[in-house]
Amino acid sequence: MDDKEFIVTEFIGKVGLVKLNRPESYNALNLQVLTELMESLKELDERDDIGAIVITGDEKAFAAGADISAMADATTEEIKKSAFIPTFSLIREIKKPILAAVSGYCLGGGLELAMSCDMIIASTKSKFGQPEINLGIIPGAGGTQRLTRSVGKVVAMEMILNNRTLKAEEALSLGLINAVYPVEEFLEKSMSLAQDIAARAPLAIQSAKRAINQAYELNLTKGLDEERDLFFDLFSTQDQKEGMKAFLEKRKPSWTGN
């Protein structure tokens, strides 16, 4: 995990901290950045000692968007054949919860990346937007879909059609993010939340994440069926037996992930 040019990974307790490390371009996303990021996420997802993941940039930028220089001259056929969007979509395959710790610019592909995570914690200096309209295009990695589901149709319309940018408190009030903290605290608070989640029953956490995500993709009847099946399946796990036994014995459970 240490041989990547644009991604730095740290292990803190049961949390994997993944840092976008391209500060000279405000962490602009290109295929190499995304490939290295997804490789790191997959590696963390497979580790038994990691229960949650935090993705961050730096205080100036989470990610200011896609690297426009990498696609400016592309034709429709070339952009279709590009691995950029398919690579971006691989984050949906990660089973463990992912938190985005955002400060500074979170624009375009950067916002699409943050919204692909399960939660977003922001600093007071964060700015959220989908400015692709200024380039003669639209969001192509989930922006029109996830943003609309988060902030509603009319706000999403204004952000995408007219480049409205949300400050952190606005984003919080509209339900785009979970919490806002001072710049000197946002990463610490994100890690604290991730540590709390990572301390809980691993299989139940992953099943809950899957069920919640299905609420976006399925109708209610199918979503309820999916939730019920995941609920039933957890009764075949050792963690379910341990959790309920610990509750009855009034002690702290010891999770094994089995």
Q: Pick from 129, 146, 165: which is nearest to 89 by CA?
A: 146
Checking if the pLDDT of 37 tops 70, the result is yes
Which CATH homologous superfamily contains domain 202-248? Lyase 2-enoyl-coa Hydratase, Chain  A, domain 2 (1.10.12.10)
* Token pair in block for residue 87: 């690579």
CATH 3.90.226.10 domain locations along the chain: 7-198
- Which pLDDT score, from 0 to 100, does residue 134 have? 92
Q: Break the chain down into helix, strand, coil percent, rounded to 5.
A: 50, 15, 30
The verdict on whether 132 is a catalytic residue reads yes
Per DSSP, the three-state class of 234 is: helix
Catalytic residue among 52, 66, 101, 171: 66
Q: Pick from 125, 128, 127: which is nearest to 185 by CA?
A: 125
Q: How far apart are CA 40 and CA 143, in angstroms?
A: 23
The verdict on whether 249 is a catalytic residue reads no
The verdict on whether 217 is a catalytic residue reads no
Catalytic residue among 57, 65, 109, 142: 109
Kindly indicate whether the domain formed by 7-198 is annotated with CATH number 3.90.226.10: yes
Q: pLDDT of 56-107, one tens digit each?
A: 999 999 999 888 887 878 888 888 888 888 888 899 999 999 999 999 999 9
Checking if the pLDDT of 27 tops 90, the result is yes
99 and 53 Cβ atoms separated by less than 8 Å: yes
Catalytic residue among 36, 112, 226, 227: 112
CATH 1.10.12.10 domain locations along the chain: 202-248
Q: How far apart are CA 71 and CA 25, in angstroms?
A: 15
Quote the pTM value.
Answer: 0.93
CA-angle at 230, arms to 225 and 235, nearest 5°: 130
* Token pair in block for residue 144: 């029109």
Kindly report which listed range (46-60, 73-87, 136-150, 172-186) carries the lowest average pLDDT score: 73-87
